[in-house]
Structure 1
Amino acid sequence: MTHSRRHALATGLGLLGASALPAFPLAARAAPGYPDNVIKFIIPTPAGGGHDTMMRVIGQKLTESWGQPCIVESRAGASGAIAASAVARATPDGYTLGVGYSALISNLVLQPAQQPYKLADLAPISMLALTPIAIGVRESLNVRTLDQLVALAKSRPGKVSYGSYGPGSGGNFVGELLNMAAGIDTVHVPYKGEAPALQDLIGGQIDTAVVSLGGVSRYPGKICALAVASPTRFPLYPDVPTFAEAGFPDVNMPGFGALFAPASTPKAIIDKLDAEMARIVKLPDVAPKLLELGFEPAGWGPQKLSSFLAEQLALTQKLVATGRIKV
């Protein structure tokens, strides 16, 4: 990473008043015998969804390993801000942890004054999994590659539409990244969730949708997946290229599910949780379950997770500064 790039990322984090990695007090020590109580995972999405299922699978393995119960509590709402705030205010003892996803960052850029948390309130533990975002087109559009879609959009400026699962969502960001990278002008149509966007795509009300890879791949013969906004192809859909492979390396903004603790949680506890998360998500009876949910197991530690957050923050700020993303 160049000096200017490092400076840009540091400046971006400074605008939010904090680094993605908290400073641990020198006197911080893991509580003797940790864990000796129930561990609670707070998720930012409704019960029964992908994050809920993922954390129940991981929690079961953690219980088997550590002998302590793990519970999952949903604090859905406000694009994840309610859950993030609950984790930030919890006692930093390793017994209340939280899952964050892309809105954890976009909230702070789009509506900073309204957020009850900041990145400095959270200690990164582990990148559990990446959740790929993809672009899909309706079959009747007669487009089979990203190059063909770009050519069509250039021939019909302001006429080709893309749906997403909401304004300021990961799909919205990826759609606008493609507009910028390809020099095209496709029109964003936000929906209240992925399902209605896909139904309108099939029905012909919109031309493309930028949602989960699993979503656009769920309807063969009706929707054609063109590219995924992740560093690598997703194992379950190896025929779908990345945007980089299709000629647009700047369109790289995967969704994610990461584990956090309250700031000032002792480093020894963070390290213990990090090691266990890295082990669990790669287990042969866990990794396939996560893939089926649309999650690609990662198991990154605090440093790599922090670097990822900084890069995504800089990219988010760049997009918002263009005025393309509006809530």
Structure 2
Amino acid sequence: MNSPDRNTPQPRGLSRRQLVTAVAASALTGFAGSASAATFPDRALKVILMFPPGGGSDSQARLVSEKLSGLLGQPVVVENRPGGGGTIAANAVKSLPADGYTLLHSAIDLMTLTPAFNAAATYSPQDFLPLASIATAPPLLIARSEFPANNVAELVALAKKKPGALSYGTWGPGSVPHVAGEWLQQQTGIQLTSIPYKGEVPLIQDMLGDQLPLGWATLPALLPHLKAGKFKVLGVAAARREPLLPNVPTFIEQGMPDFAISGWMGLFVRKGTPPELVTLLNAKINEVLKMPDVQERIKGVGQTPVISTSAQFGEIVAKDATRLKPTLEALAPAIRN
């Protein structure tokens, strides 16, 4: 048998030994990925929240996290990162690995409004994947109980007597209350002064201290103070009345067509998170939302639970962004200033 000529050029590409090694490495990588998904989670998870402690979103996030911890067998810790219309929270999650261990609790502000209005926002909605919806809670325009106006018409009449003299609290530039406040002014021709806060809790505290006459809040944070007679609601920014406030008309009923902002809330993960982890976490969160005590607590504070797949939640977010786009473009100059 003839021996190969050592001077003959060898074929380019992988040698047989290299090819076998590469195939083995690929198989091991695939096995490791499956093993990782099969054993997830093997340590604590974190939920990063764009609001300060004590508000409706905070209590909701803690309720869901507590129940989720029981299902996953690992701690699920809530970390509050308020400010910047959600930019601080979003950037915190964006900076961490896409491994399913860090979830972003987001409201419509963070994914739809802040990127449109806040030049300091260094993230994009495309940096995240919708994981699971939790609930909806429309914004309410509130006033102290002794405030002279009881509805939108009376507020407009009062504001026109003193342009710019009345101030209202928001949750920061480009937040739902800021958008709602600017939208209200554009539709009615009044001038109000917006005062930014790092969430509805400090806003409500200043209203209780008589430092602010008007503000926007969600029912979960507001309900105890309504029951105590501290505040009244001038309007609900939703398509229909709030079940827990059957006597309070919506803005639409008060002559402002289409004045409704979906107050959705849900959980996101970083783009690049393995699909099998997204599916697993979505199923566990939905399992939490189906628990009777969770349903009761969410509904009891004025929120509506929403159970969805990751894809369905993504459609909710996308449809809301599309519906609001013309309004946001019209409001952008005033809000960016």
Q: Tell me, yes or no, if the aligned pair for 1:213 and 1:228 is still in contact at 8 Å.
A: no
Cα distance in 1, alignment partners of residues 162 and 325 from structure 2: 24
Question: Quick one: higher RCO (CA 8 Å, sep 6+), 1 or 2?
Answer: 1
Structure number with higher helix proportion:
2
Aligned position for 2:98:
92
Matched, 1:75 2:81: yes
Counterpart amino acid of residue 188 in structure 1: T
Distance 1:177 1:273, change over 3 A: same
Deviation at 1:33, TM superposition (A): 1.4
Residue identity over aligned pairs, in percent, reads 30
Matched, 1:66 2:72: yes
Matched, 1:143 2:152: no
Alignment: residue pair count: 297
Cα distance in 1, alignment partners of residues 41 and 222 from structure 2: 44
Find the structure with the greater CA-based Rg.
2
The partner residue of 1:120 within 123, 126, 150 is 126
Aligned position for 1:4:
none
Aligned position for 1:14:
none
Cα distance in 1, alignment partners of residues 336 and 73 from structure 2: 46
Matched, 1:261 2:269: yes
Q: Tell me, yes or no, if the aligned pair for 2:98 and 2:273 is still in contact at 8 Å.
A: yes
**Which secondary structure does the structure 2 equivalent of 1:286 belong to?**
helix
Cα distance in 2, alignment partners of residues 188 and 228 from structure 1: 20
CA RMSD, aligned part only? 3.3
* Pairing 1:272-287 to 2, within 5 Å after superposition: 272-287=280-295
Q: Tell me, yes or no, if the aligned pair for 1:167 and 1:190 is still in contact at 8 Å.
A: no
Distance 1:271 1:224, change over 3 A: same
Deviation at 1:296, TM superposition (A): 3.4
Deviation at 1:89, TM superposition (A): 3.4
The partner residue of 2:251 within 214, 233, 243 is 243
Distance 1:140 1:52, change over 3 A: closer
Cα distance in 2, alignment partners of residues 195 and 149 from structure 1: 23
Aligned position for 2:192:
187
Matched, 1:324 2:331: no
Distance 1:242 1:149, change over 3 A: same
Cα distance in 1, alignment partners of residues 219 and 54 from structure 2: 19
* Pairing 1:48-63 to 2, within 5 Å after superposition: 49-63=55-69
Cα distance in 2, alignment partners of residues 53 and 128 from structure 1: 12
Aligned position for 1:158:
163
Q: Tell me, yes or no, if the aligned pair for 1:216 and 1:224 is still in contact at 8 Å.
A: no
Q: Tell me, yes or no, if the aligned pair for 2:165 and 2:193 is still in contact at 8 Å.
A: no
Q: Tell me, yes or no, if the aligned pair for 2:139 and 2:176 is still in contact at 8 Å.
A: yes
Q: Tell me, yes or no, if the aligned pair for 2:52 and 2:201 is still in contact at 8 Å.
A: no
Cα distance in 2, alignment partners of residues 94 and 203 from structure 1: 42
Q: Tell me, yes or no, if the aligned pair for 1:45 and 1:77 is still in contact at 8 Å.
A: yes
Deviation at 1:61, TM superposition (A): 1.6
Deviations 1:139-185 (A, max 9, x none): 545433334434555x537256240234433212111222233x321
Distance 1:88 1:160, change over 3 A: same
* Pairing 1:206-217 to 2, within 5 Å after superposition: 208-214=214-220
**Which secondary structure does the structure 2 equivalent of 1:55 belong to?**
helix
Moved more, 55-64 or 144-153: 144-153
Deviation at 1:124, TM superposition (A): 0.4
**Which secondary structure does the structure 1 equivalent of 2:335 belong to?**
coil
TM-score scaled to structure 1, two decimals? 0.75
Q: Tell me, yes or no, if the aligned pair for 2:143 and 2:213 is still in contact at 8 Å.
A: yes
Deviation at 1:54, TM superposition (A): 2.4
Deviations 1:108-150 (A, max 9, x none): 11234x3232111100011212232111244545433334434
Moved more, 259-268 or 314-323: 314-323
Cα distance in 2, alignment partners of residues 309 and 201 from structure 1: 31
Distance 1:110 1:282, change over 3 A: same
TM-score scaled to structure 2, two decimals? 0.73
